[in-house]
A and B are shown apart, each in its own frame.
Chain A
Amino acid sequence: MVHDSRRTRLVLGVLIVAALVLITVDYGDGRSPVMNGIRKVSSTVFGGVERGVSSATGLVGGSGSGSSSQVKALRDQVVRLRAELSREQLGKIDYAQLRRLLSLSGQGGYRIVAANVIATGEGYQRSVTLDAGSSDGVRPRETVLNGDGLVGEVTSVTADTCAVLLATDSSSQVGVELAPSGQLGWVTGPGKTPSGTGQLQLQVLDASALLTPGEQLVTSASVKDRPYVPGVPVGVISGVENRAGALTARATVRPYVNFTALGVVGIVIAAPRRDPRFSVLPPSPRAKPTPTVTVTVTPGATGPGTTSPSAPTAGG
């Protein structure tokens, strides 16, 4: 144990005070111009580094493995591959993701900017960094999605990068619309969970709404389409908590997006002209939940069964 000298104490004290000052300034609503400037500069710097490192390590793209063939063959290959490089820069996975992303955005009429995830946030917050920034037309509070559905919301933007708050963050709240019924509600993230992708929490405004597992969720339109554009698939109701006397009906939602394996994502830079409603939703999940619905409904058939006719009328 080294005993602290006066200097040590001094330095430690100064640093701690500095940290506390930073916390205080940033905490009290933060976003003071100074802090914003600092953040912006540092984001630019670190973002650039992250970009470089990420592209260098090929973190995102699972590019193919090299074969140990002979030099001459490889040389020929290099020439050939170089020509193809511009087209085939993305790996297979990336390609698949991008294709799905494009098809989804095409269905919904979203204009997107494709981007890669280049860094993942530290600590308990669920956030990522993308390699697209203001130079690509990205602005804060824009919707981020991928081929499966809603990913999150852009929180801050630098020239070449932007930070995205994932929908699974516990501070994220997304207004949603239930697919068949049109019930309105919102979805909250679970925060950091052991599995990485936790279940979202759905709360529906109408306390008497009947929620059934298998119902699909899409984002409902935000004001001026920020932060969320309408119609982006969010998830499927996986479980219903019917609490008597609760102000809102609650359910857990399994998100479409696998948040632990984000690769190619798209940032919606222009909302669709008309609300796509439920047209973007994947068609499949209907069939599968149906048997489970019948099973679960049976024991409570007397209770909800009587109210079920009234639910649609109440809802719409």
Chain B
Amino acid sequence: MRRLMLSAVAVAAALVLQLTAINGLRLPGGGVPDLVLLVVAALGLAGGPVPGAITGFAAGLGLDLAPPGGGVLGEYALVLCLVGWACGRFRGTLARSAAVPMVITAAAAVAGEVMIAGLGLALQPAQVSWISVRQVLPAAAFYDIAASPFVLYLVLLAGQWLGDAATADPGARAGQGRFLAGGLVGPAGLGGPAGLAGTQGLAGRQGLAGRQGLAGSAGSAGGAALLGLGGWLAGPPESRRARRAVARRTPKLAPGSGRSGDGWVGGSAARRAMGGHAPGGQAWSGQAWSGQALRGQAFSSQALRNLARDSRPHGSGSALRAGVAGSAAGGHAPRTLAARPVHLRLAGGRKRDGTVGNMLGGGRSVVAGRAPRRRSPSGRSLGGGSLGGGSLGGGSLGGGALSRELLRGGSLGGGALSRRSMARLGRRRSGRGSGFRPAVMPGGSAVTSAVKRQPVRGHLAPAAPVRFGSARFQAGRRRDGLIGGGALTQIGRSGRTSRTGRRIAAPRFRDRPGRQVRATASGLTSAGGLGPEALHSLRRQVPQRRLRMHPRRGDGVLGSPLSSRRTTAGLGGGGAQPATPRFRARPLAPGRPPSGKRPRFGYRRWSVLSLLPGRLGARSPGRRTAASRAGGARAPSRWTRSRWTRSRWTRGRRASGGSAAGRRTGGLR
């Protein structure tokens, strides 16, 4: 709504200004900057392809219809629609850099001018002569280029201003999780993201922390943006190595995840849901949202309510509440929970992550963490809809700080991982050269009540070790085996055993010293505290080859102690075991379309936009990828739903028919 308003106002202002003032200017060369074109480009850049296209169309139509008119109706609508759409495709650049958007805007403006001239030549040969095009077009393009940075800046500034205004409004859309959780408070004067994160969370970004804090506390929109720009110009204050070192040292599992889709995967899932891609109404409930998903300090209850409302696409009240992610607690959530909704990982949602989640969700036989062929009912139930890997991703276990409260909440909160264990985790975790991609957990959903009631203190609950273990220690999302695994490793290392006397399985990832960053980053990504640098390094390290994960039993799951000795042996003991490749690289199945899902870790540094609120600031591909990486519960896109995947899903759905968990899964997919 706000974005709509911004677009409408900006376009209208540009249009009137263009017609009344700018077109009448006498500039050398005969051309004038096309303000409307630039505004459309900037709005597209800020909003995305669809809003860009719509904005462009509307603006172009206005330009066609506005009084002096005379051109063919629809001419500008066509051109500006294309410009807006094309700029929207580059929306992600806004979060990464300041220069690239300017270049894109300028290029789009020039392209728009050329298109306008070409259309004019084609449609109105009497009025648009080649001579005048040749003479005027270069000048117009030049003025466009010259004006583009300013227009872009103003548009972004306007967006920020609107966002700030909206923060005071409790009814503001709460979907802009990231900013609310992290950045938003900064401009609001709460001391910036770093201050908000409070504990360790953002310390990993130490190199940038100063800038962020500064920008955040600057309060005024312009100041923040300028500082962001300044930060861009100044570059990162520390060397990458130093920052990485800091990142390695610092526990990233902050109590609150800083960005959307982090850790509490629900963030991303919620967005999906709001975007109409909701896997299914069953997945979400207002309870989950209002209760646990969001951290108390970042959201007002009103906002939470709104969010809950927003996030129920097909909302049907209490029916939805069953089996909601993280809602096992029945909706009363501890305030101390992390800022993100627990993600509903009923099933591995996306391509390549399918393994365990799929199997579980789809009613297949294998439960992660158990012997694949041991198809135990309890495993089923757990996998189908019980404890979420996402919550586990918090790694609370590693630090031994898992509290009953947290557990009851149905999500094991992040931030409990101790610094030391994290460091160790980082050291320990390493993947094979092909990339560390542990199996995906079924995760995400509610802890069953039985499990929920188990007191847990730092390690496996005595009472229901099997279920608990298999449920809780599943790493939550793809590539996050780390956290769950890391915690496990800790336990394994310290020789701790479960009550059953068996060793606790740790995920088997080969030890390889020196690849810590990736491991840490991976884990942290899932947990949510990952800083931009870590992400960046992760991006650099994760190979782009696409692998299909083939979990073996015991992979990354605590449950494995129960499964077999062999597994346990392979996992536990301080890395003695080796490095069997857990994942086979396989060529992609034919017919699987490319990309779209390739993890792209976008944040290199903070730019102007990262300080902006809401849609403008929060929806960058970087974050979105983080979200989808973390989140999974995203409805498969058109590409994802290739033959292969589809058949797999459908099969799973059919097979799963019986249990509620299965149904839920089916709904999800």
Please report A residues at the B interface, Cβ cutoff 8 Å. 1-8, 11-12, 15-16, 18-27, 30, 35, 38-39, 42-43, 46-47, 49-50, 53-54, 57, 59, 117-125, 127-129, 155-156, 158, 161, 163-165, 169-171, 190-196, 260-261
Q: Is the CB of A46 within 8 A of B62?
A: yes
A15-B53, A22-B73, A39-B69 are known contacts. Are A119 and B23 too (CB-CB below 8 A)?
yes
Least Cβ–Cβ distance between A35 and chain B, in angstroms: 6
Interchain Cβ contacts under 8 Å between A and B, 24 examples: A3-B639, A6-B637, A8-B53, A11-B49, A15-B57, A16-B78, A23-B78, A30-B72, A46-B62, A47-B67, A50-B16, A53-B16, A57-B20, A119-B23, A122-B63, A123-B120, A124-B133, A127-B70, A156-B67, A163-B70, A171-B124, A191-B128, A196-B30, A261-B26
> Is B105 among interface residues, defined by CB-CB distance under 8 A?
no
Q: Is the CB of A1 within 8 A of B90?
A: yes
> Is B458 among interface residues, defined by CB-CB distance under 8 A?
no
Chain A residues within an 8 Å CB radius of B116: 123
Least Cβ–Cβ distance between A280 and chain B, in angstroms: 27
> Is B198 among interface residues, defined by CB-CB distance under 8 A?
no
Of B80-88, B350-358, B471-479, the one touching chain A: B80-88
> Is B132 among interface residues, defined by CB-CB distance under 8 A?
yes
> Is B274 among interface residues, defined by CB-CB distance under 8 A?
no
Please report B residues at the A interface, Cβ cutoff 8 Å. 12, 15-21, 23-24, 26, 28-31, 34, 36, 48-50, 53-54, 56-57, 60-78, 81-82, 85, 88-92, 116-117, 120, 123-124, 126-129, 131-133, 135-136, 139, 276, 595-596, 621, 637-639
Q: Of all chain A residues, which has the CB nearest B93?
A: A1
Least Cβ–Cβ distance between A23 and chain B, in angstroms: 4
Least Cβ–Cβ distance between A62 and chain B, in angstroms: 13
Task: For the complex, give the distance between the alpha carbons of A169 and B12 in Å.
Answer: 26
Task: For the complex, give the distance between the alpha carbons of A21 and B75 in Å.
Answer: 10
Task: For the complex, give the distance between the alpha carbons of A35 and B64 in Å.
Answer: 12
Chain B residues within an 8 Å CB radius of A6: 637-638
Most buried by A among B54, B66, B67: B67
A5-B638, A59-B21, A193-B136 are known contacts. Are A128 and B68 too (CB-CB below 8 A)?
yes
Q: Is the CB of A2 within 8 A of B81?
A: no
Q: Is the CB of A260 within 8 A of B26?
A: yes
Q: Is the CB of A125 within 8 A of B70?
A: yes
Name 8 extra pairs, CB < 8 A, besides A121-B68, A125-B68: A1-B90, A22-B73, A23-B72, A39-B73, A46-B62, A46-B65, A120-B20, A122-B34
Least Cβ–Cβ distance between A91 and chain B, in angstroms: 16
Least Cβ–Cβ distance between A126 and chain B, in angstroms: 8
Least Cβ–Cβ distance between B297 and chain A, in angstroms: 32
A12-B81, A50-B16, A125-B127 are known contacts. Are A192 and B74 too (CB-CB below 8 A)?
no
Chain B residues within an 8 Å CB radius of A53: 16-17, 20
Chain B residues within an 8 Å CB radius of A57: 20-21
Q: 8 closest A-B pairs (Cβ-Cβ)? A: A22-B74, A121-B68, A194-B30, A120-B23, A42-B65, A19-B78, A26-B73, A191-B132
Least Cβ–Cβ distance between B609 and chain A, in angstroms: 14
Which of A43, A163, A194 contacts B136 (CB under 8 A)? A194
Chain A residues within an 8 Å CB radius of B21: 57, 59
Q: Is the CB of A46 within 8 A of B66?
A: yes
Which of A3, A27, A121 contacts B69 (CB under 8 A)? A121
Q: Is the CB of B69 within 8 A of A163?
A: yes
Q: Is the CB of B135 within 8 A of A193?
A: yes
Task: For the complex, give the distance between the alpha carbons of A164 and B67 in Å.
Answer: 9
Q: Is the CB of B595 within 8 A of A2?
A: no
Least Cβ–Cβ distance between A48 and chain B, in angstroms: 10
A42-B66, A43-B65 are known contacts. Are A124 and B78 too (CB-CB below 8 A)?
no
Least Cβ–Cβ distance between A88 and chain B, in angstroms: 23
A4-B89, A46-B66 are known contacts. Are A194 and B29 too (CB-CB below 8 A)?
yes
A3-B596, A163-B70, A195-B30 are known contacts. Are A124 and B132 too (CB-CB below 8 A)?
yes
Chain A residues within an 8 Å CB radius of B30: 192-196
Q: Is the CB of A122 within 8 A of B24?
A: no
Task: For the complex, give the distance between the alpha carbons of A156 and B66 in Å.
Answer: 12
Q: Is the CB of A170 within 8 A of B126?
A: yes
Task: For the complex, give the distance between the alpha carbons of A4 and B63 in Å.
Answer: 27
Which of A1, A15, A120 contacts B89 (CB under 8 A)? A1
Most buried by A among B69, B78, B89, B92: B69
Q: Of all chain B residues, which has the CB nearest A21?
A: B74
A46-B62, A50-B19, A57-B20 are known contacts. Are A156 and B89 too (CB-CB below 8 A)?
no
Task: For the complex, give the distance between the alpha carbons of A259 and B627 in Å.
Answer: 57
Q: Is the CB of B621 within 8 A of A2?
A: yes
Which of A19, A47, A195 contacts B57 (CB under 8 A)? A19
Q: Of all chain A residues, which has the CB nearest B624?
A: A2
Least Cβ–Cβ distance between B395 and chain A, in angstroms: 32
Q: Is the CB of B123 within 8 A of A12?
A: no
Task: For the complex, give the distance between the alpha carbons of A4 and B52 in Å.
Answer: 12
Which of A19, A25, A163 contacts B77 (CB under 8 A)? A19
Q: Is the CB of A190 within 8 A of B132?
A: yes
Chain B residues within an 8 Å CB radius of A190: 129, 131-132
Q: Is the CB of A127 within 8 A of B68?
A: yes
Q: Is the CB of B78 within 8 A of A165?
A: no
Q: Is the CB of B76 within 8 A of A122?
A: yes
Least Cβ–Cβ distance between B486 and chain A, in angstroms: 33
A19-B81, A122-B63, A127-B70 are known contacts. Are A50 and B127 too (CB-CB below 8 A)?
no
Chain B residues within an 8 Å CB radius of A194: 28-31, 135-136, 139
Q: Of all chain A residues, which has the CB nearest B117?
A: A124
Q: Is the CB of B67 within 8 A of A11?
A: no
Chain A residues within an 8 Å CB radius of B36: 122
Q: Is the CB of B16 within 8 A of A127?
A: no
Q: Is the CB of B70 within 8 A of A121?
A: yes
A8-B50, A19-B57, A19-B60 are known contacts. Are A129 and B67 too (CB-CB below 8 A)?
yes
Q: Is the CB of A18 within 8 A of B77?
A: yes
Chain B residues within an 8 Å CB radius of A22: 61, 64, 73-74, 77
Q: Is the CB of A192 within 8 A of B132?
A: yes
Q: Is the CB of B126 within 8 A of A23?
A: no
Task: For the complex, give the distance between the alpha carbons of A190 and B136 in Å.
Answer: 12
Q: Is the CB of A5 within 8 A of B637?
A: yes
Chain A residues within an 8 Å CB radius of B57: 15, 18-19
Task: For the complex, give the distance between the alpha carbons of A124 and B62 in Å.
Answer: 17
Chain B residues within an 8 Å CB radius of A121: 19, 23, 68-70
Least Cβ–Cβ distance between A272 and chain B, in angstroms: 28
Chain B residues within an 8 Å CB radius of A120: 19-20, 23-24, 68
Q: Is the CB of A192 within 8 A of B136?
A: yes
Task: For the complex, give the distance between the alpha carbons of A35 and B124 in Å.
Answer: 18
Chain B residues within an 8 Å CB radius of A30: 72-73
Q: Is the CB of B77 within 8 A of A169?
A: no
Q: Is the CB of B128 within 8 A of A163?
A: no
Task: For the complex, give the distance between the alpha carbons of A129 and B56 in Å.
Answer: 24
Q: Is the CB of A43 within 8 A of B67?
A: yes
Chain A residues within an 8 Å CB radius of B24: 59, 117, 119-120, 260
Task: For the complex, give the distance between the alpha carbons of A39 and B70 in Å.
Answer: 10
Chain A residues within an 8 Å CB radius of B48: 2
Task: For the complex, give the distance between the alpha carbons of A6 and B132 in Å.
Answer: 40
Chain B residues within an 8 Å CB radius of A124: 117, 120, 124, 127-129, 132-133, 136
Which of B50, B117, B120, B595 contacts A3 (CB under 8 A)? B595
